[in-house]
Each structure stands twice: as C-alpha cells, then as structure tokens.
Amino acid sequence: MRKVKSIIDRFLAGISLIVLSPVMIIAAIGIKVSSKGTVFYKAKRMGRDLKPITVYKFRTMHMGADKKNKITAVNDSRIFAWGEILRKTKIDELPQLFNVLEGSMSIIGPRPEDISIVNNYFTDEEKKTLYVLPGLACPGSIFNYTHGDLYLKGNNADEIYVKEFLHIKLSLDLYYLSHWSLGYDVKIIIRTLYTIIMATFTSRQLDYPMEYKKVFQSI
C-alpha cells in the first residue's frame, strides 16, 4: 500500500504542478514586486528516519527574517503584505510539490519540523511521526490552520509553540498514523481544501479537527 501511495503522490504532484502553474507564476511575480530577494525559500527540516531534507516554499518574509524566531506569530511583522496572502491561502506551500516529485515528501503526512525542535523537544513516541515521509497536509496542519492563531501570539511564539502547541499537533498526527489508509488520505485532502476555502473567504471560527475530538475530548 505504501508503494501505491508513493505512485499516487507523484502522479498528483505532477498534475497539480501543471494545473497550478499559472497560480505559481503569479505568486512568484508578486514576491519579486513586493520584496527584494529570492522568490523561493529553502528550509532545512527533519525528514523520514531523522534524515534532514530541504523543503521548498515561496518566500513570504523579508530576507534574513528567518534568523530571528523559528515560529511565525500572529501578525508577524516579518511577513510582507503579498506574503500574508500567500500564507493564508497556503499558496506558499505549493513548491513542496517538487519535494513530492523527488520523493522527500508525500501529499499527506506529518508536516516536516525544524531540525532543532525535533532534536530538543520530540519525545520518543512523537519521533514515530518521522518513520514516514513528511507531507503537505495532515491532521496537525489542519489544527494549526484553524486554531494556531489562538496560541501563537506575542513575541514568545517559539516558546509557546514547543510548550503548548507542538505536542497537541503531534498527538493528532500519531492518531493519523495509527489509523492510516488511502481512504483516510483522501478525506484529509478534502478537509484541507475545505478548511483553506472557509478560512480564506469567511470569518467563521472553524471547529476542531475530528482527530482532536478523538484524542482529547474522549479522555
């Protein structure tokens, strides 16, 4: 099944890159007009089996901003206006489709985490999320998208992230891994697209992901 997943991943990534190429071109032009520097941002992240990978994104912050905090806070001043739009719509993540094509990422899987955060804050149980390829979307990323703003405020977003947010997110991804199926992946794709559309075009506060209710509200 994992081999089938890999084949499907690369097929979907290739098709998506073709279909979304106009969007990516517009995103790139907007970055060049809005902020001096490169179009793409290359981030070092922890990949499968604790092997570092380079993750590609559209740059949404001013050059050199990544030398400060690792975690993006609500209303982070490092983000330029066009970058904020790209982040809200998740267009900034589209270059990771190239990661999927090269085999370092999957369409669905735990989001790749900063290497220092993995080394310093992941428990042995949470490192099980690194037994599989990291992905573009997962239950943890849906939770981050719908409720991250409730946590990551102020100048100490890094501290809040590792103390209050990280372990919730990883618990949701561990639930996903223990219940994995291709059908589950399809549901996460649909839920992710729905979440992005609702968050982009409405002001409605979205509900907690299904996995959050399963993991925490059943305790």
pLDDT exceeds 70 at position 175: yes
Average pLDDT of span 119-144: 96
117 Cβ neighbours under 8 A, 6+ residues apart: 70, 161, 162, 166
User: Could you tell me which residues are beta bridge partners of residue 113?
Assistant: 46
CA distance 148 to 145: 6
For residue 9, pLDDT over 90 is answered with yes
Q: Would you state the pLDDT for residue 205?
A: 83
The structure's pTM equals 0.92
Helices (H), 55-114: 81-88, 96-102
For residue 68, give the amino acid letter.
K
More confident residue, 74 or 93: 93
pLDDT band for 148, please (50, 70, 90 cuts). Answer: confident
What's the pLDDT tens digit per position in 21-70? 999 999 999 999 999 999 999 999 999 999 999 999 999 999 988 777 88
